[in-house]
């Protein structure tokens, strides 16, 4: 229990830090890009929108920094992230909530697949060190050095332009109305194949390497030798003794690498015009839409924190030592 | 290239057993590390001489629009007739410069914070590791994008600093863990007992033993910095009038190179990124294997031997060592 509380406190502090960074960035930077934006949209902004933008971006020069900070929190707690300029009269919160499910589904499914695949291959290649599986290592190194977005470009060039097997942009067929029925879901899955495969290919290498190295370390532990001495089958020693212990550090490493995975996913979305958060971030960057950019950053950070918390809880369930210390 | 790769090895092998001082550079002898260093040296050379050997001005337009690779244009041309090879040659300098500046700055930060946290302990450790954990969990790329798009003139140095500011945390965490394990070693205690100052102990007793960790953290950060920088250029946040590989990809993407089948426009830049990234990763493997010999891929004579803790042959007269553990034996023979 103590462990859980500690982690909760840590994520609360991190969330606070992220929000404060978000608060400080526009105030520390020279120039006032948001002011310029607002003057461009003058007349189309109503007073509440102006007030919230001023509070979020610190345009109220008369107020002290502390008063700005409390204002900022008040707006955030109301769920008010300002207006998006790219999708003009729509509030940022609404824009993001439309895109979030796409990103969550893409990241969730691809992460699960790459975890299972990478860990599996890692277990085998670590256990049978020196076998042909070691030949995979340079290949995976190479693939993991390729930026996600470039792999996406290649995927598009080969499987969407040269051999048009898959669509090269969008998240679903535009003629369909988003709904929970089979035509829509199948179209969404079909559009998700290329981005998904791209992410899995790039992400799986890290899992293989991490798991292999842990397996190599664990397989020289005494308890593995004891298990073998008892005459247990090799499968059982490999999975129930070695892999089970080797996977633990991999899970905590996963929690820490989540930020990288999410960043990579954002880029893949940008390449495929996938209707998720990354694509919106790209549009926001292109249009200098600061409210949307900051909103996206906040949501991404909070989701990563939530996912980290889940990973920590899973770790606590899997590793009795964290519970015992409590 | 392969000839060049094996030759120094043969030369190295001869004096290898003699000098003890050479052991320090032993990790250079691994095949992976040597390949990595060679590729890196190649790109470093291009970074220096790139603008001089570029056959064309990278900005110069010509009437050869969107040509596939040919003898005149090895990597083909863009939609305005610019030479892709020249763009890549000229762009190498920016890529390496930003990567190494960011890697250097981030390493300095991570050493300062990580080693202090690990060595000082107590409340200072709590606060510093909290600080680095916070930075570790916050996703770096979106933060970099936001900061970079608020900054008005995005020169290479600004981009490098922004990347460094968001990427020191991993190295600092690893360094802290390593320092913690070194802090209570006997030789450090001895230094303390002889009255050496804390800073002297950190710099002369602890730091030399962290060299490998620091080096691998540096290389890792350089990889991250190069990828981030190229990404920033690709999505148009960084200054796109300044050539680097990301800029090439940015123009390719925004001019529909894919839909027009102009693969030569984006394949070379991506391959360069991948090659450079692989080179750095190989160097890092070399360092890792140098630090942790268990990770070395079995090669040559040691292939059949499976090292196990507790398997050290003990002279026990009469009983052969192996017979005690039938399970493991048969497994090893079956391999």
Under 8 Å between Cβ of A326 and A3: yes
Are B151 and A149 a contacting pair at CB < 8 A?
no
- The helices-and-strands tally (H runs, E runs) of chain B is 13, 0
pLDDT digits (tens, 9 = 90+) for A1-45: 777 888 888 888 888 888 888 888 877 776 666 677 777 776 677
Which of B125, B226, B225, B127 is closest to B175 using CA atoms?
Answer: B125
Q: Which distant-in-sequence residues (6+ apart) come within 8 Å of B87 by Cβ?
A: B58, B78, B243, B247, B248
Q: Is residue A38 part of a domain?
A: no
Quick check: B326 pLDDT over 60?
no
Q: Burial letters for B23-43: b for 16+ Cβ neighbours within 10 Å, e otherwise?
A: eeeebbbbebbbbbbebbeeb
Smallest Cα distance from A182 to chain B, Å: 30
Q: Is A222 in contact with B309 (Cβ distance < 8 A)?
A: yes
Contact A275, A99 (CB under 8 A): yes
Average pLDDT of chain B is 74
CA distance A179 to chain B (A): 30
- Give contacts of A96 with chain B, Cβ < 8 Å: none
Within-domain flag for A64: no
Q: Which residue has the higher pLDDT, B2 or A312?
A: A312
Residue A198: partners with Cβ closer than 8 Å, 6 or more residues away: A148, A151, A152, A155, A268
- Do the chains contact at A130 and B298, CB–CB below 8 Å? yes
Find how far residue A13's CA is from the centre of its chain.
20
Q: What Cα–Cα distance (Å) separates residue B85 from each residue in B63, B98, B247, B300? A: 17, 21, 13, 41
Please, which residues have CB within 8 angstroms of residue B44's CB and are 6 or more apart in sequence? B96
Q: How far apart are CA A289 and CA A56, in angstroms?
A: 13
CA distance A84 to A34: 11
pTM flag (> 0.80): no
pLDDT for residue B108: 92
**Percentage with pLDDT > 70 across chain A:** 90
| Residue B3 CB contacts under 8 Å (≥ 6 apart), including other chains | none
Angle at A145 between CA B87 and CA B104, to 5 degrees: 80
> Are B146 and A294 within 8 A, CB to CB?
yes
User: Tell me, what's the pLDDT at B315?
Assistant: 43
Report the pLDDT value the prediction gives residue B101, as an integer from 0 to 100.
92
Which has the closest alpha carbon to A158: B78, B273, B266?
A: B266
Q: Which two tokens stand for residue A252?
A: 């905590």
Going by pLDDT thresholds of 50, 70 and 90, the confidence category of residue B20 is: very low
**Model pLDDT, residue B100:** 92
pLDDT at residue number B29: 61
| In contact, B183 and B120? CB cutoff 8 Å | no
| Mean pLDDT, residues A118-147 | 79
Is residue B51 predicted with pLDDT exceeding 70? yes
Determine, yes or no, domain membership for A144. Answer: yes
Q: What is the mean pLDDT of residues A114-132?
A: 84
Q: What is the pLDDT of residue B104?
A: 93
Most confident of B20-24, B60-64, B109-113, B116-120: B109-113
A259 versus A221: the higher-pLDDT residue is A221
Is B142 touching A (CB cutoff 8 A)? Answer: yes
C-alpha distance from B192 to closest chain A C-alpha (Å): 32
Q: Per the CB < 8 Å rule, is B149 touching A293?
A: yes
Q: Give residue B219's pLDDT.
A: 87
Domain of residue A259, CATH code: 1.10.3720.10
pLDDT in tens, B120-137: 878 888 888 888 888 888
The answer to whether the CB atoms of A225 and B310 lie below 8 A apart is: yes
Res B107: pLDDT: 92
Complex ipTM value: 0.79
pLDDT in tens, B237-252: 777 777 888 888 888 8
* CB A126 within 8 Å of CB A237: no
For residue A27, is it within any domain?
A: no
C-beta of residue B69 within 8 angstroms of C-beta of residue B76: yes
User: For B79-109, what is each residue's pLDDT tens digit?
Assistant: 777 888 888 888 888 888 889 999 999 999 9
Interface of B with A in 65-84 (CB under 8 A): none
Q: Please check whether residue A13 lies inside any domain of the structure.
A: no
Query: Tens digits of per-residue pLDDT, A182-191?
Result: 777 788 788 8
| Token pair belonging to A155 | 């995927």
Taking the CA of residue A131 and the nearest CA in chain B, the distance in Å comes to 9
Sorted by sequence, the CB contacts under 8 Å of residue B15 that are 6+ apart come out as B22
Average pLDDT over residues B215-223: 87
Q: Are B142 and A266 an interchain contact pair (Cβ–Cβ within 8 Å)?
A: yes
Compute the average pLDDT of residues A88-100: 83
Task: Determine the average pLDDT of the residues in B274-302.
Answer: 72
pLDDT of residue A324: 60
Task: Tell me the residue range of the domain where A291 lies.
Answer: 92-322
| Cβ contact, residue pair A228, B327, below 8 Å | yes
- For residue B94, the model assigns a pLDDT of 85
Instruction: Give the per-residue pLDDT at B26.
Output: 59
Structure tokens at B266: 């984006």
Residue A213 covered by a domain: yes
What does the alpha-carbon distance between residue B154 and residue B145 come to, in Å, rounded to a whole number?
Answer: 11
A91 strand-pairing partners = A83
Please tell me which residue, B323 or A133, carries the higher pLDDT value. A133
> If pLDDT is split at 50, 70 and 90, which confidence band does A72 have?
confident
Phi, psi dihedrals of residue B129, rounded to the nearest 5°: -75, -30
Weakest mean pLDDT among A249-258, B168-177, B196-205:
A249-258
- Distance (Å, rounded) from C-alpha A29 to C-alpha A275? 30
Q: Is residue B180 predicted with pLDDT exceeding 90?
A: no
Residue A122 reports pLDDT greater than 60: yes
The answer to whether the Cα torsion of A24, A26, A32, A34 is positive or negative is: negative
DSSP string, B250-292: HHHHHTTTTTTT-HHHHHHHHHHHHHHHHHHHHHHHHHHHHH-
Ranking B26-40, B84-98, B184-198, B273-287 by mean pLDDT, the lowest is B26-40
Report CA B70 to chain centroid distance, whole Å. 34
Cα–Cα distance for residue pair A206/B87, rounded to 1 Å? 31
Q: Is a pLDDT exceeding 50 seen at residue B14?
A: no
Asked whether residue A47 is assigned to any structural domain, the reply reads: no
pLDDT, one tens digit per residue, over A160-202 is: 777 777 777 777 776 666 667 777 778 878 888 888 888 888 8
**Bridge partners, B77 (sequence order):** B83
A79 φ/ψ angles, rounded to the nearest 5 degrees: 80, 20
Name which residue leads in pLDDT, B196 or B322. Answer: B196
Is A117 a member of any domain?
yes
How many independent structural domains does chain A possess?
A: 1
Tell me if chain A has a CB within 8 Å of the CB of B230.
yes
Chain A touched by B294 (CB under 8 Å): yes
Instruction: Specify the residue for token string 């070399």.
Output: B286
């Amino acid at each position: 229990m103590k462990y859980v509380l500690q982690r909760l406190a840590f994520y609360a502090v991190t969330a606070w830090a992220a929000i404060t960074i978000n608060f400080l960035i526009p105030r520390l930077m020279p120039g006032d890009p948001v002011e310029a934006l607002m003057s461009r949209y003058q007349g189309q902004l109503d007073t509440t929108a102006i007030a919230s933008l001023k509070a979020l971006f610190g345009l109220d020069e008369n107020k002290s920094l502390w008063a700005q900070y409390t204002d900022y929190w008040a707006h955030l707690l109301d769920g008010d992230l300002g207006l998006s300029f790219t999708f003009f009269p729509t509030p940022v919160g609404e824009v993001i909530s439309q895109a979030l499910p796409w990103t969550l589904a893409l990241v969730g499914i691809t992460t699960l697949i790459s975890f299972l695949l990478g860990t599996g291959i890692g277990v085998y290649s670590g256990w049978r060190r020196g076998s042909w599986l070691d030949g995979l290592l340079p290949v995976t190194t190479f693939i993991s050095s390729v930026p996600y977005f470039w792999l996406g470009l290649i995927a598009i060039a080969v499987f969407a332009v040269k051999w048009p097997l898959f669509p090269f942009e969008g998240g679903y067929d535009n003629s369909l109305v988003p709904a929970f029925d089979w035509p829509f879901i199948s179209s969404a899955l079909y559009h998700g194949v290329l981005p998904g495969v791209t992410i899995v290919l790039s992400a799986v290498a890290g899992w293989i390497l991490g798991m292999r190295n842990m397996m190599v370390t664990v397989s020289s532990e005494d308890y593995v030798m004891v298990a073998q001495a008892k005459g247990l089958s090799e499968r059982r020693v490999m999975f129930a003794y070695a892999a089970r212990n080797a996977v633990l550090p991999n899970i905590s490493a996963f929690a820490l690498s989540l930020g990288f995975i999410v960043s990579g996913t954002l880029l893949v979305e940008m390449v495929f015009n996938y209707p998720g958060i990354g694509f919106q971030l790209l549009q926001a960057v292109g249009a200098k839409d600061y409210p949307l950019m900051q909103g996206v950053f906040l949501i991404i950070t909070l989701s990563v924190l939530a996912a980290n918390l889940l990973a920590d809880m899973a770790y606590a369930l899997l590793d009795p030592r964290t519970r015992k210390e409590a | 290239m392969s000839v060049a790769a094996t030759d120094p090895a043969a030369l190295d092998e001869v004096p290898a057993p003699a000098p003890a001082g050479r052991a320090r550079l032993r990790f250079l002898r691994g095949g992976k590390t040597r390949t990595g260093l060679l590729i890196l040296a190649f790109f470093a050379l291009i970074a220096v001489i790139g603008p001089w050997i570029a056959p064309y001005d990278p900005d110069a337009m010509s009437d050869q629009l969107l040509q596939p690779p040919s003898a005149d244009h090895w990597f083909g041309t863009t939609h305005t007739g610019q030479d892709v090879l020249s763009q890549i040659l000229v762009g190498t300098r920016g890529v390496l410069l930003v990567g190494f500046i960011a890697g250097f700055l981030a390493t300095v930060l991570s050493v300062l914070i990580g080693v202090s946290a690990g060595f000082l302990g107590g409340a200072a450790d709590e606060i510093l590791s909290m600080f680095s954990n916070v930075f570790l969990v916050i996703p770096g790329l979106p933060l970099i994008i936001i900061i970079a798009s608020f900054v008005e003139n995005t020169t290479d140095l600004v981009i490098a600093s922004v990347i460094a500011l968001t990427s020191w945390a991993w190295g600092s965490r690893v360094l802290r863990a390593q320092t913690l394990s070194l802090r209570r070693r006997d030789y450090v205690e001895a230094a303390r007992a002889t009255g050496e100052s804390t800073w002297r102990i950190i710099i002369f007793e602890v730091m030399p033993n962290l060299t490998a960790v620091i080096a691998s953290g540096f290389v890792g950060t350089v990889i991250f910095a190069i990828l981030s920088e190229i990404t920033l250029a690709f999505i148009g946040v960084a200054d796109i009038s300044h050539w680097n590989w990301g800029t090439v990809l940015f123009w390719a993407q925004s001019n529909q190179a894919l839909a027009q089948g102009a693969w030569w426009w984006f394949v070379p830049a991506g391959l360069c990124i991948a090659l450079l990234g692989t080179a750095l990763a190989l160097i890092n493997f070399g360092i890792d294997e140098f630090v942790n010999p268990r990770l070395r891929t079995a090669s040559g004579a040691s292939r059949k031997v499976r090292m196990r803790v507790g398997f050290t042959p003990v002279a026990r007269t009469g009983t052969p060592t192996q017979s005690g553990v039938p399970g493991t034996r048969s497994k090893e023979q079956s391999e």
